[in-house]
Amino acid sequence: MTGSRVGIGVDQHRFASSGSDRPLVLGGVTFAHERPLEGHSDADVVSHAVSDAMLGAAGLGDLGEHFPDDDGRWLGADSLAILVAVSGLVRSKGYLLANADCTVVCEAPRLSRQREMMMERLSAAAGGPVHVKATRPEGLGALGRVEGIACLAVALLEEIGP
């Protein structure tokens, strides 16, 4: 008997202070000339949210459990590589990604020009289709004051058949 499972992932990071030499990475795509996010890895909130959604759907805990931010191995890590590893964990549990959908919440940068590339890279890393969209917080709260970026994701996993 095959089945499906759903998981939700959420991630957010504040913008790094001025003078940081790291790039802004969202969905595996570098946004040149944009203020980067703070984080232990590359701080890719989109990859992190999709990873967490997949882990949750498979009943495998959360991203911090598998890739803790106090472990030096993950310092500056490529979050697409983490998503590939998560896809492997999900597969080992008997599931494949049917699809994922995520919403990036930010005032800046505008994602429209890079959105297709983000979806291609995320889909390749996750092993299934990942859709990306964005919304602006319209000046409300910390995200509206351009203090950081958040992403919410949902993932549907399908059990691998015989």
Domains and CATH numbers, the chain: 4-159 (3.30.1330.50)
Answer whether 26's CB lies under 8 Å from 104's CB: yes
Q: What is the pLDDT of residues 77-91, one digit of tens each?
A: 999 999 999 999 999
Residue 136 pLDDT exceeds 70:
yes
Higher pLDDT, residue 40 or 20: 40
Residue % of the chain over a pLDDT of 70: 98
3-state SS class at 22:
coil
Per-residue pLDDT at 1: 38
Answer whether 158's CB lies under 8 Å from 2's CB. yes
DSSP 128: S
The pLDDT assigned to 151 comes to 98
- Per-residue model confidence as pLDDT tens digits over 26-84: 999 999 989 999 999 999 999 999 999 999 999 999 999 999 989 888 888 999 999 99
Rounded to an integer, the average pLDDT of 4-24 is 92
SS3 helix, strand, coil % of the chain, rounded to 5? 30, 30, 40
Distance, in Å, from the CA atom of 13 to the CA atom of 52, rounded to the nearest integer, reads 15
Sorting pLDDT into bands at 50, 70 and 90, what band is 162? Answer: low
- pLDDT tier for residue 18 given thresholds of 50, 70 and 90: confident
Structure confidence at residue 2 (pLDDT): 60
Kindly tell me if the per-residue pLDDT of 21 is higher than 90. Answer: no
Closest CA to 119 of 26, 1, 21, 27: 27
CA–CA dist 136, 18 (Å, integer):
23
Residues 4 and 157: beta-carbon distance below 8 Å: yes
